[in-house]
Amino acid sequence: MRYLFDSSAIIRAIKENNIDLLTGNGTLEIARYELGNIVWKDYLLQAKISKEEARSLMNAIKHALNAMEIHQIVPKEEEILETSGQFGITFYDASYTYFAKSKASILVTEDLRLTKKIAPNIKTLTLDEIAQNRQKNQTQ
C-alpha cells in the first residue's frame, strides 16, 4: 500500500521518531517549504524550541524527505486549482488531495478539517490509524 504524506503527518512522525513510516512513501516538494515554515514558527516566531533543536529538527526533516518519493506539482497546477474549487480547500491542500487521487494513494494527514472536506472521495488516515492497522496486521 502506498501512502502520500502531507506536512502535518510528516512533522508528527518526525517529532515522534516514527520516520520509518515515511520511508518509501510519497510527499510533495511543497512539504519541504511547509516543514521549514513549521520549524521557523516554533523557533523564531513562538520561541518554543532552541536554535539547536531547530537545527536538529531541520536535519531530521532532510533525512526523512531523502527517504521519500518527492512529487512535483508541475505541470498539474490547473488540475490542482480545479480540485481546490471542487472541495473548497486551499491550493496547498488540493495539491496533496490531487496527487493522492492521481497516484491511487491514501493521504496521510493530521488535518481533520481537510479529511472532513475531501471524504468520502479521497481515503485518508492519521498516523494513529496507520499504527493501529500495523498492529492488527501483525497479530493476524
pLDDT digits (tens, 9 = 90+) for 107-134: 999 999 999 999 999 999 999 999 888 8
Find all residues with CB under 8 Å of 48, minimum gap 6, and list them: 42
pLDDT at 43: 97
The pLDDT of residue 63 is 96
Mean pLDDT on 82-89 = 98
Range of the domain at 134: 3-139
65: pLDDT confidence band, cut at 50, 70 and 90?
Answer: very high
pLDDT at 26: 97
pLDDT computed for residue 140 by the predictor: 67
> Could you give the number of structural domains in the chain?
1
Report CA 79 to chain centroid distance, whole Å: 19
Q: What is the pLDDT of residues 9-56, one digit of tens each?
A: 999 999 999 999 999 999 999 999 999 999 999 999 999 999 999 999
Cα 55 to Cα 70: distance, rounded to the nearest angstrom: 22
Dihedral sign computed on CA atoms, order 131, 125, 92, 75 = positive
Q: Residue 13 contacts by C-beta under 8 Å, 6 or more apart in sequence?
A: 5, 19, 21, 22, 64, 127
The single residue listed with the C-alpha cell 485518508 is 124
Largest CA distance in the chain: 47
CATH number, domain of 84, equals 3.40.50.1010
pLDDT recorded at residue 136: 78
Residues 6+ apart with CB under 8 A from 38: 7, 11
**Residues 66, 22: contact at Cβ < 8 Å?**
no
CA-based torsion, 106, 109, 112, 115: positive or negative: negative
pLDDT tens-digit profile of 73-84?
999 999 999 999
